[in-house]
């Protein structure tokens, strides 16, 4: 890596981090839509958290990509489109979604029955966004399809990890590290890293808004940096993990693996031990 690309990547990461923090501070003072209750949720402990981390990530990453030097105009436009559109579609599901249908399969099954769920709107919208972003940077129809599927699939996969504090961001940072030499990847990685402390402290979470935008941007970065064989390999891995999520619980798999569990718990509050059951004396 020459000095200039490294400096551009560092500048992108710094801009992403700064923009995400500014957006988060702004949104916690004045919500982008609705009021505090609109974005309030209960986490896995039953404690209140805010989903405003998600809009802060999508808006911050989009703004930083627009300002980051060193990216071709069409690539920059694809990045801004991906962040804003996937974030907006995720926000629609965060605000208006229900738990009637769950998972990729559940939403598509409901769609076949004529029920248009918020999740189905998000899936179709993110698919269209992925193809549109790919069309901005590719001319070959096959490459547009592969890149579009990679962007959309990565958006969905990242959301599947947003079930415990910091998990989706950690997965994003690990998956995106090999791509960090490009500002296109460095911007979302910087934005995610800047929001990680609030996520780990269980004050906020990405929600669909942030997780979809994070995954989609990393998918776009992979699409831009990898050759077709590499993109097909990554797409295959994304598809395999997505299919596996319909059958197994990522949380149980992670908890059952000492290495993965240690990484998952890094920086998090300890999990309380199960309450001791006191049996009455016969």
- What pTM was estimated for this model as a whole? 0.91
Indicate the SS3 state at residue 136: helix
Q: C-alpha distances in angstroms, 137 versus 144, 162, 219, 264? A: 8, 29, 13, 35
DSSP conformation class of 49: E
CB neighbourhood size of 142 (10 A): 9
Nearest to 218 by CA among 162, 158, 264, 167: 158
Nearest to 184 by CA among 11, 21, 18: 11
Note the pLDDT tens digit of each residue in 25-73. 999 999 998 888 999 999 988 899 999 999 999 999 999 999 999 899 9
Contact 222, 134 (CB under 8 A): no
- The tens place of each residue's pLDDT in the chain, 282 residues long, gives 457 888 999 999 999 999 999 999 999 999 998 888 999 999 988 899 999 999 999 999 999 999 999 899 999 999 999 999 999 999 999 998 766 556 666 666 666 777 778 788 898 999 999 999 999 999 999 999 999 999 999 999 999 999 999 999 999 999 999 999 999 999 999 999 999 999 999 999 999 999 999 999 999 999 999 999 999 999 999 999 999 998 999 999 999 999 999 999 999 988 766 555 455 555
C-alpha radius of gyration, the chain, whole number: 19
Annotate 65-114 with DSSP letters as a single string.
HHH-TTS-HHHHHHHHHHHHHHHHHHHHHHHH--SSS-HHHHHHHHHHTT
Q: Which residue has the tokens 């919208």?
A: 125
Note the pLDDT tens digit of each residue in 220-250. 999 999 999 999 999 999 999 999 998 999 9
| 226-246 residues labelled b (16+ CB within 10 A) or e (exposed) | beeeebeebbeebeeebeebe
At 1 the pLDDT is 45
At 88 the pLDDT is 96
Domain ranges in the chain are: 17-265
| ∠ Cα 187 188 190 (to 5°) | 65
At 103 the pLDDT is 60
What six digits make up the tokens of 5? 């690309």
DSSP conformation class of 237: H
Indicate the SS3 state at residue 105: helix
At 5 the pLDDT is 84
């Amino acid at each position: 890596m020459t000095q200039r690309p490294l400096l551009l990547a560092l500048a992108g990461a710094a801009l992403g981090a700064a923009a995400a923090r500014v957006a988060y501070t702004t949104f916690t003072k004045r919500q982008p839509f609705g009021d505090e209750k609109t974005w309030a949720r209960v986490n896995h402990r039953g404690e209140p958290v805010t989903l405003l981390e998600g809009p802060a990530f999508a808006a911050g990453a989009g703004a930083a990509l627009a300002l980051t030097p060193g990216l071709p105009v069409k690539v920059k436009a694809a990045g801004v489109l991906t962040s804003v559109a996937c974030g907006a579609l995720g926000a629609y599901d965060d605000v208006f979604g229900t738990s009637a249908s769950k998972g990729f399969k559940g939403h598509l099954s409901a769609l076949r029955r004529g029920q248009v769920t918020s999740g189905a709107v998000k899936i179709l919208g993110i698919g269209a966004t992925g193809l549109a972003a790919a069309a901005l940077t590719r001319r070959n129809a096959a490459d547009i399809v592969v890149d579009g599927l990679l962007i959309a699939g990565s958006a969905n996969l990242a959301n599947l990890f947003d079930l415990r504090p910091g998990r989706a961001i950690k997965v994003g940072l690990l998956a995106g590290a090999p791509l960090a030499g490009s500002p296109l990847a460095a911007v979302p990685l910087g934005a995610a890293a800047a929001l990680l402390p609030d996520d780990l402290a269980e004050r906020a979470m990405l929600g669909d808004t942030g997780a979809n935008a994070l995954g989609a941007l990393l998918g776009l970065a992979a699409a831009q940096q990898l050759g077709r064989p590499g993109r097909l390999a990554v797409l295959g891995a994304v598809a395999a993990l997505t299919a596996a999520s319909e059958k197994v619980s990522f949380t149980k798999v992670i908890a059952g693996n000492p290495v993965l569990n240690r990484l998952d718990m890094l920086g998090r509050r300890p999990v309380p031990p199960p309450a001791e059951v006191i049996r009455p004396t016969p």
